[in-house]
Amino acid sequence: MTAGSMTKVWLGLGSNKGDSLAILHAAIEELRSLLEDLKVSGFWRSRARYYEDQDDFINAVVSGFTMLDPHELLARIHVIEAAHGRDRTREFAKGPRTLDIDILLYDNAVLAEPDLIIPHAGLQERKFVLLPLLELDPDLVHPVLGLSLMNIAASLPPQGIYPLVDDRYDAPYPQ
């Protein structure tokens, strides 16, 4: 999964505040400066989980190769989120946000620190992450559980996750 000293990573993106599609498209373009060979899933609409009294989210997953270590990548992601109006000091957990970017997987690394958990702690319970992730890489295995993400996704109950059908959905993402 690595190319030279490059590490393959998968990032989850979500937005439910503001012009979510425009925000996600802009963030994806900005992620091109961090990730080589960037691949982008389709966009998915998902009902809010945990705190349900908010608008639906639009979600996507990107993958690519980076030379940044996980903490450097996280810091750069936070800059992109802030540039799109995210203020972590003013929002509440699981609430509305203009942009959320999570490191889902960092190759097969396992990291558990106060500010960063890889693989993402909610990965195995969230279809809004698993479905777009599996679009990009259907053979992924959870590095801690040792289970195929396809089997994990298949075992979850319905969660209100739907492909966002627009004129771009079936077209390749512009490179």
Sign for the pseudo-dihedral over CA of 34, 69, 76, 146 = positive
Could you tell me if residue 2 is inside a domain?
no
Which has the higher per-residue pLDDT, 174 or 87? 87
pLDDT at 90 (0 to 100): 75
Per-residue confidence band for 92, with pLDDT thresholds at 50, 70 and 90: low
Instruction: Fill in the DSSP letter of residue 141.
Output: B
Which has the higher per-residue pLDDT, 69 or 170? 69
Section 150-173 average pLDDT: 76
**Cα angle 100-67-147, degrees, rounded to a multiple of 5:** 65
Structural domain including 52 reads 7-163
Per-residue confidence band for 2, with pLDDT thresholds at 50, 70 and 90: very low
Phi/psi class of residue 50: alpha, beta or left (left: φ > 0; alpha: ψ in -120 to 50)?
left
Per-residue confidence band for 4, with pLDDT thresholds at 50, 70 and 90: low
Q: What is the CATH number of the domain that holds 57?
A: 3.30.70.560
Could you tell me if residue 170 is inside a domain?
no
Instruction: Report the number of distinct structural domains present in the chain.
Output: 1
Tokens representing 4 are: 């030279």
pTM of the model as a whole: 0.89
Could you tell me what percent of the chain has a pLDDT over 70?
90
Which active-site residues does the annotation give? 86, 97, 100, 102
Residue 169 has pLDDT above 60, yes or no: no
Selection from 139, 169, 154 nearest residue 43 by Cα? 169
Could you tell me if residue 175 is inside a domain?
no
Could you tell me if residue 14 is inside a domain?
yes
| 103, containing H or E segment | strand 100-106
Tokens representing 90 are: 């003013």
Section 130-137 average pLDDT: 96
